[in-house]
Chains A and B, each alone.
Chain A
Amino acid sequence: MNVLQPIGRIFLAFLATVGRLTMFTGSALSHCVRPPFYPRIIGRQMVEIGYYSLPVVGLTAIFAGMVLALQSYTGFARFSAEGAIANVVVLSITRELGPVLAGLMVAGRVGAAMAAEIGTMRVTEQIDALETLSTNPMKYLVAPRLIAGLTMMPVLVFIADIIGVFGGYVVGVYKLGFNAANYLQRTYDFLEAEDVISGLVKASVFGFIVTLMGCYHGYHSKGGAQGVGTATTYAVVSASILILSSDYILTELFFAK
C-alpha cells in the first residue's frame, strides 16, 4: 500500500501536468490566430530570437562544422574514404546539427529569459494587472513569443547551416588539404532540397517548443524569486529534452522508409 501510494501520486501529478500543458498549448495557439494582434511585440520578439541569437548560434555552428570535418577525417581515412567528408558535413549540419544545436542554444538563451520575464510578471502581479487592463495575457505575452519562435527559428537555422558548412570547408581545405573547388562541388552535389527543408521544419518545431516551455513555466511560476528560478530551470531542461526526443520522431517521419 505504502509503496504504491507515491507511484500513484507521481503518476497523477504527471497526468495533471500533461493536461495543463495541453490546455495551455491549445489556448495559446488559438490566440495566435485570433485578433487583436500585437505586431510591435511580435517584432520585438522576432529580433530577440532571430537577431540577437545569431552570434551564439553562429559560433556553435562554425565549431560544429569544423569538428565534424576533423572527426570524420579520422574515421574515414581508415577506409580511404576521405572524399566523403564534404558529404558527411553538409548532411549532418543541415539535417541534424544545425537545428538541434541552434534549438538547444536558443533554449538556453531565449527560453530561459522568457521564463524569467513572464515568471517575474506573474509573481509581481503584472499578469493580473494585464487582465484588469482589458488585455488577455495569453494574447499579449504568449502568442507573440510563439509566433516569433515558429517563424524565426528556420531563418536562424538556415544561416547556421551556411556557417556550419563553411566551418567544415575551412578545416577541409586549410587543414586537411582538400582542393577547394572539389570540396564545394562535392558539398553541392550531395545536397538535396529535402535535407535542408526537413532541417528547417525541425527548426520551426524546436522554436515552438522552446518558446512554449519558456512561456508555460513562466506563466505558472509561483512563490517569488525561488519560484522564478525553478521555472527558468524547468523551461530550459524540458525544452532540451523535448527537442532531442521530438528530433527523433521527426527524423522517423521524414526519412523512415
Chain B
Amino acid sequence: MSDAQPKIRLRDLHKSFGDKVVLDGVDLDVGVGESVVVIGGSGSGKSVMIKCILALLPVGGGSIQVDGEEVVGIGSKDRERINRKFGMLFQGSALFDSLPVWENVAFGLLAEKRVLRSEARDVAVGKLAQVGLTPEVGDLYPAELSGGMQKRVALARAIAADPEIIFFDEPTTGLDPIMADVINDLIVKITREMGATALSITHDLASARKIAHRIAMLYEGKIIWAGPTADIDDSGNPYVDQFINGRAEGPIEMAIRA
C-alpha cells in the first residue's frame, strides 16, 4: 500500500474535550478496498476518531485526507459531497424509530433525491435481501425487531447509497456470539461484493480477525501498532499482547476514572 494513494489518510490527528486529550496524533492509512480494524480499550478514542473523519465532531488539529483531498475545514457543500462517499453502521444501530424499516433503509437515497418515493420501497427491499431479511420486515418498526435484526437493518441502511467507504462502529457489541458471527460474515461478504473500503472499530478480537485485512491498535490517543491480521499474535508489542490475550496485568493500566 506504500505508493498507491490511500482512500483515507490520517496524519497527526488531535482531538481533546476540555483538558482531556483523546486523540494525540493519530497516523493511519486505509488503502482502497482494504478493511482496517482499529482495536483498543473502552474510552481509547476509537469512536471519536471515526466521528472526526465523518465530521460529526470538530477536529482539534492535524489532517484527514479522503482520496487525497484534505477534508479538515472544508465548507458544508464539499462536506456533503465527501460524506456521500461514506456509510456508517452505528454501535446502537441508531435506526429512526418513528419510521418503518423500509423508510429507514431508503432514508439517505430519499434525502439525496436519488430515488422517487414510489420506487424507494423496492430499492429498500433489495437492500434488505442483501442482508438476509425478507420484504415483510420492511413494514415493521425498528422497536419490533430483535437486536440482531436491527443491526442488519442498520447495515442495509449503511450500504443503501452504495458508499465507497463504510465505517463500522463496534458492529458486534451487544449480540450473542452466533449473531455476531453472522454480522461479521455479512460485513465481509458485502464489502467484498461492493468493493468498498472499510474502517471498523471494535474490542471484539474474534470480529477483528474475521473482517480485517489489517489491524491497528489505538492506545492513549496514538496508533501504537499496525500490521496484517496474521501478525497480530506475534506483534512483539507488549501492549498488543496484553490486549489480545485479555490480561489484567501488563503495561496497559485501565483508567478507572474517565
Once the chains bind, are A132 and B96 in contact (CB under 8 Å)? no
Q: Is the CB of B80 within 8 A of A132?
A: no
Residues of B with C-beta under 8 A to A126: 94-97
Is A135's CB within 8 Å of the partner chain B?
yes
Complex CA gap A129/B161 in Å reads 14
Chain A 103-139, CB within 8 Å of chain B: the 1/0 string?
0000000000000000001001110111111110000
The contact string, 1 if C-beta is below 8 Å from chain A, for chain B 86-110, is 1110111011110000000001100
* CB proximity of B202 to chain A, nearest CB, Å: 16
Given the complex, which residues of A lie within 8 Å of B54, measured CB to CB? 128, 131-132
Q: Does the CB pair A128–B83 fall under 8 Å? A: no
Q: B92 touching A132 by the CB < 8 A rule?
A: no
Q: Is the CB of B88 within 8 A of A135?
A: no
- Report the number of A-B residue pairs with Cβ-Cβ less than 8 Å: 49
Q: Interface of chain A, helix or strand or loop or mixed? A: helix
Q: Which of B119-165 contact A (CB under 8 A)?
A: 157, 161
Instruction: Provide the main secondary structure of the chain B interface.
Output: loop
Q: When chains A and B are docked, how far (Å) is the Cα of A180 from the Cα of B107?
A: 58
B158, closest chain A residue (CB) = A132
Q: Using A134-B80, A134-B112 as known contacts, say yes or no to A125 and B157 having CB atoms under 8 A apart.
A: no
Known contacts A131-B54, A131-B56, A132-B88; A124/B83 CB under 8 A: no
User: For residue A126, which residue of chain B has the nearest CB?
Assistant: B94
- Say whether B111 faces chain A, with CB atoms less than 8 Å apart: yes
**Do A132 and B107 contact each other (CB < 8 Å), given the known contacts A124-B92, A125-B90, A125-B91?**
no
* Cβ contact within 8 Å between A132 and B91: no
Q: Please report the total number of B residues contacting A with Cβ < 8 Å.
A: 23
The answer to whether A134 and B94 have CB atoms under 8 Å apart is: no
Q: For residue B157, which residues in chain A have a CB less than 8 angstroms away from its CB? A: 133
- Tell whether B213 is near chain A: CB-to-CB under 8 Å: no
Tell me whether B11 is interfacial, beta carbon within 8 Å: no
Given contacts A128-B51, A128-B56, contact A134 B92 (CB under 8 A): no
**A122-171: which residues lie under 8 A (CB-CB) from chain B?**
124-126, 128-135
A129 (CB) vs chain B CBs: closest residue: B94
Contact status A125-B92, CB under 8 Å: yes
A124 to chain B: which residues have CB within 8 Å? 92, 94
Q: List 30 A-B contacts (CB under 8 A).
A: A121-B96, A125-B90, A125-B92, A125-B94, A126-B96, A128-B51, A128-B54, A128-B56, A128-B90, A129-B88, A129-B90, A129-B94, A129-B96, A130-B96, A131-B54, A131-B55, A131-B56, A132-B54, A132-B83, A132-B86, A132-B88, A132-B108, A133-B107, A134-B80, A134-B83, A134-B108, A134-B111, A134-B161, A135-B107, A135-B108
Q: Which of A's residues lie within 8 Å of B, judged by CB?
A: 121, 124-126, 128-135
Please report B residues at the A interface, Cβ cutoff 8 Å.
51, 54-56, 80, 83-84, 86-88, 90-92, 94-97, 107-108, 111-112, 157, 161
